[in-house]
Amino acid sequence: MSVAASLHENTRKCANYTPTIWGNLFLPYASESNQEVDDNMEHKVLKEKLKMVISSNDLSCSQKLNFVGWVERLGVSYHFEHEIEEALAKFHSIYTSNNNLIIHDEDDNNLLSLALLFRLLRQHGYHISSDVFKRFKDINGKFDNENFAQDDVEGMLALYEAAQLEAHGEKILEEALHFSQTHLKHLIDNNQLTLVSLKARVSHCLSQPLYKRLRRIEARHYMSFYQQQRDPSQHHKILLNFAKLDFNMLQRLHQKELGKITKWWKESELTRKVPYARDRLVEAYFWPLALSYEPQFSTARMLVGKLVSIICLLDDTYDVYGTLEELELFTEAIHRWDISPIETLPECMKAVFEAVVQVCREMEIVTIEEGTSNFVMPHVKQAFINLGEAYLMEAKWCSEKYVPGYEEYKDNGAISSTLPLQIISFMGLGNHVIKEVFDWISTYPKIVRAFSLIGRLIDDMATHKFEQEREHVASGVECCMKQYGVSVEEAYQIIIDDIKTCWKDINEECLNNPHDVPKYVLECVINMARVSEVVYENLQDRFTNGDSLKHYIIQLLLDPITIEP
């Protein structure tokens, strides 16, 4: 260590992060033999039977709608993409005219079927008009309880979920969301739901709507509810058993992936080399797992899991450890992709830089094999440069005790959220993204800014009190308070409204899709917003405080699902 560096050791900031709660728990999975995900005869047989059900003409509109809804909520729709798209295309052809939903069959012409059809079609890219819900308004143009059957809780839940897909200017969906949410809360608060299972469903829905939940977590939760249904119209045993088999088979794959990167992390000795930073490898893997859990994204999950764990070291280097002078040199090294500017800096900072370069080399090997290196890696490196510059800007603000305006903060904070780098890296690895789509992601379009701001702002609300206990850059909360002269509570409300606007941006971009972005790319983009909603839910920083994410980790990565004979 240089003399200059040693002089700083006694004056450096300290965040006192707790050690990882996982230790080497996942390490044994790295060496376990693992059968192929599709190497299960029962799984294959059930899959073919379910394909026939989805393609069958024997089901009514509401029956097939419900079945498709179940398939998606149970997390197995990726096996039936062709059959689901065919079914929804047929629904669209039969039940829409000029983007308006028209259902002639009285048995299917109800709130539940209309709302479910609306939601499914919109989620699959059909531009369906929200005017279908006007029929539930009174003569004054307001949603009125008299226009709804009082015992139609399922219909009200479906309306609440459908309204989550609101785009800008859709006042009717904004009103439907407020009305259904108020109605459902009233049922809960006044103990008007006698069935324990239904009360639990409504509470679960109100805590976080389906559209903002991570598919893998929701699948695990929904199985427990689904298997309690005894009514054949609400339960399909073959589907449930298939979903459980599929969940367990994927869990074994995910365990092996996490085992491999745990082995890499242990061998890298980065916990020892960078003692001031958070050791959050398991939580880091949670992010790419949330983006996509299917088998074909295995390589991307492992590499982005490594990437996020290293981004965490990088974040803490700028946020906790480095002096401004050191960080300026560090940012120059990232710009030049060359360690020479930081040769005089502490060994821990050099270890972080070398880790960044090493994981990028691994990514480059993969992209060379796939023939995409020439357009993927320049964008990945540029995203790292952008992140370093955003981190350095925050370090300068902190050093100068400068509180930027809220809009200025958001422009920089969307980049420092790290989410643009994560999505660029994930989509560039093993996903067969064509150059045009990858270039689109890398131009930082409206939808990428939207999920990046969701991540940044939710993070800020969850962490700003802890961070302000030490010397730290002003968060979005403080910047909002300063710019608008408001209290903490009022700033929270402004930020919450901004997050709602970002979700409308995402919905609108997915609906219009002016660049013809493939559906699975859009799904990964939406999942980036969803994982932020989950990790920072209820103003908790579940990434830093691993205990609060432990329940989900155990569900997804440790506990298999019991399959009844």
Any idea what the CATH number is for the domain that residue 297 is in? 1.10.600.10
User: Would residue 43 count as lying in a domain?
Assistant: no
User: Would residue 562 count as lying in a domain?
Assistant: no
For the segment 436-445, the average pLDDT, to the nearest whole number, is 89
Amino acid type, 174? E
Number of folded domains that form the chain: 2
Report pLDDT for 234.
60
Q: Long-range contacts made by residues 388-392, C-beta under 8 angstroms, separation at least 24? A: 388/314, 388/330, 388/331, 388/334, 388/335, 389/331, 389/415, 390/415, 390/416, 391/314, 391/315, 391/318, 391/319, 391/327, 391/331, 391/416, 392/318, 392/327, 392/328, 392/331
Collapsing DSSP to helix, strand or coil, 428 comes out as: coil
Measured CA to CA, the distance from residue 486 to residue 412 in angstroms comes to 22
Domain CATH code at residue 152: 1.50.10.130
User: Would residue 490 count as lying in a domain?
Assistant: yes
Residue 28 has pLDDT above 70, yes or no: yes
Handedness of CA 222, 223, 226, 228 (dihedral sign): negative
Residues 318 and 463 in one domain: yes
**356 touches 388 (CB < 8 A):** no
Domain limit, last residue, from 166, 190, 212: 212
Report pLDDT for 183.
93
Residues 329 and 413 in one domain: yes
Measured CA to CA, the distance from residue 80 to residue 434 in angstroms comes to 23
CA distances for 276 relative to 14, 230, 306, 419, angstroms: 7, 54, 18, 23
Measured CA to CA, the distance from residue 322 to residue 97 in angstroms comes to 61
Report pLDDT for 233.
58
Q: What is the CA 508 to chain-centroid distance, rounded? A: 18
Residues 195 and 315 in one domain: no
Range list of β-strands (E), 30-159: 96-97, 100-101
**Predicted confidence band at 86 (pLDDT cuts at 50, 70, 90)?**
very high
Residues 464 and 367 in one domain: yes
User: Is residue 327 exposed (0-12), middle (13-18) or buried (19+ Cβ within 10 Å)?
Assistant: buried
Report pLDDT for 139.
87
Residues 298 and 188 in one domain: no
User: Would residue 190 count as lying in a domain?
Assistant: yes
- As a whole-number percent, the residues of the chain with pLDDT over 90 amount to 73
User: Would residue 2 count as lying in a domain?
Assistant: no
Q: What is the mean pLDDT of the chain?
A: 91
Which residues face 96 on adjacent strands? 101
User: Would residue 231 count as lying in a domain?
Assistant: no
Which residues face 143 on adjacent strands? 137
Residue 469 Ramachandran class (φ > 0 left, ψ -120 to 50 alpha, else beta): alpha
CA max distance for the chain: 82
Report pLDDT for 430.
72
**1 touches 346 (CB < 8 A):** yes
Which tens digits make up the pLDDT trace of 108-129?
A: 678 998 999 999 999 999 999 9
User: Is residue 125 exposed (0-12), middle (13-18) or buried (19+ Cβ within 10 Å)?
Assistant: middle
Measured CA to CA, the distance from residue 317 to residue 328 in angstroms comes to 12
Residues 548 and 410 in one domain: yes
Residue 414 has pLDDT above 50, yes or no: yes
Q: Nearest CA to 25 among 329, 282, 207?
A: 282
Which tens digits make up the pLDDT trace of 454-470?
A: 999 999 999 877 665 65
Alpha-carbon dihedral 318, 268, 305, 390, rounded to 10 degrees = 20
Residues 169 and 251 in one domain: no
Residues 375 and 510 in one domain: yes
Residues 6+ apart with CB under 8 A from 70: 226, 236, 239
Measured CA to CA, the distance from residue 37 to residue 535 in angstroms comes to 28
For the chain, the 3-state helix, strand and coil shares in percent, each to the nearest 5, are 70, 0, 30
Angle at CA 26, nearest 5°, toward 296 and 34?
A: 45
Q: What is the CA 391 to chain-centroid distance, rounded? A: 23
Report pLDDT for 102.
82
First to last CA, the chain: 64
Domain limit, last residue, from 195, 212, 229: 212
Residues 85 and 206 in one domain: yes
Both tokens assigned to 31: 């060496």
Handedness of CA 371, 372, 375, 376 (dihedral sign): negative
Residues 155 and 199 in one domain: yes
Per the structure, the complete domain to which residue 100 belongs is given by 54-212
User: Would residue 187 count as lying in a domain?
Assistant: yes
Which tens digits make up the pLDDT trace of 321-338?
A: 999 999 999 999 999 999
Measured CA to CA, the distance from residue 257 to residue 251 in angstroms comes to 10
Residue whose entry in the numeric block shows the structure tokens 């996903």: 431
Residues 192 and 258 in one domain: no
Residues 404 and 365 in one domain: yes
Residue whose entry in the numeric block shows the structure tokens 């439907």: 176
User: Would residue 28 count as lying in a domain?
Assistant: no
Report pLDDT for 3.
39
Q: Ranked by mean pLDDT, which of 23-32, 196-205, 383-392 comes out on top?
A: 383-392
Cβ neighbours, 10 Å, residue 145: 11
Which tens digits make up the pLDDT trace of 457-514?
A: 999 999 877 665 656 688 999 999 999 999 999 999 999 999 999 999 999 999 998 8
Both tokens assigned to 25: 């728990």
